[in-house]
Amino acid sequence: MKMKRLLSSILCRSGLLLCLLLLDVSAALSATLQVRCPRESVTAKVTSNLPAGWWATPQGAALRGVTVLNVGGQWSLLCLYLTAQRKEIGVLRPYPPTYRRCRARKAQLDFVCTK
């Protein structure tokens, strides 16, 4: 951070236009946030109490997709996991605080959010 301020100070003395451009790029970069899904794989299991004699086997699932979804009026980031039995499991969270827009990057399996 000190190096960035020093560089900014030197460049700002050499020309106002270059200084403004540097500050604008710096502000744009800080206004962007990459958000990754919490895990590459998850295990899903039944947490409900089952009657005697019944059980459920935990299901492993691998990250297979990402999307942005409106849930009850709140925009959320949704990570989709797929089990070996081809069942989807969704893990979601709201947008990061102070960020207004997020987009899913399907190829990278992550999200990019902007203020």
The per-residue pLDDT for range 59-109, each reduced to its tens digit, is 999 999 999 999 999 999 999 999 999 999 999 999 999 999 999 999 999
Q: What are phi and psi of 28, to 5 degrees?
A: -65, -40
Average pLDDT over residues 45-69: 96
Answer whether 89's CB lies under 8 Å from 79's CB.
no
User: What is the pTM (predicted TM-score) of this model?
Assistant: 0.71
